[in-house]
Amino acid sequence: MYTVKLSACGNPDFRQGRYLPGVRARRVRVASLDEASKACRDYIRENELGMGNWNGGQVFDASGTPIVQVSCNGRVWKFDDYRAGRLVEMPSDHAGVDMANREVT
């Protein structure tokens, strides 16, 4: 079981403030990384968000450790690489995630 953060912020390109009125941040439980990706895409579509508004997508394991990041287009990235600006996309079957050891290989 995982938890994915769904959230948005104002887009500085459009001089929007820090928060978007009417868009509520939340965390949802998901059973798989594919489900996390779908939850993110649904949230983005339902709230009509663009790349400049999306600041969610962090996926956490049962201990609360961030393991992967879902970008605005639904792609899943290794969390540490994503945050460091090294975009290393996970394979579509997410074979590089070792959940037993909570490691992304």
pLDDT tens-digit map of 49-103: 988 889 999 999 999 988 899 999 999 988 666 566 665 566 655 554 544 444 4
Range of the domain at 47: 2-104
pLDDT value for 9 = 86
3 within 8 A of 27, measured Cβ to Cβ: yes
Rounded to whole angstroms, the Cα distance separating 20 from 73 reads 20
79 within 8 A of 69, measured Cβ to Cβ: yes
Number of domains in the chain: 1
Residue 54 φ/ψ, nearest 5 degrees = -80, 120
Question: pLDDT, tens digit, for every residue of 3-59?
Answer: 999 999 877 666 666 667 678 999 999 999 999 999 999 999 999 998 888 999 999
pLDDT value for 56 = 94
Residue 38 φ/ψ, nearest 5 degrees = -65, -40
pLDDT value for 50 = 87
How many other CB atoms are found less than 10 A from the CB of residue 50? 12
pLDDT value for 99 = 44
pLDDT value for 71 = 92
How many other CB atoms are found less than 10 A from the CB of residue 49? 22
Rounded to whole angstroms, the Cα distance separating 68 from 66 reads 6
> Model-level pTM?
0.75
**CA 44 to chain CA centroid, nearest Å:** 11
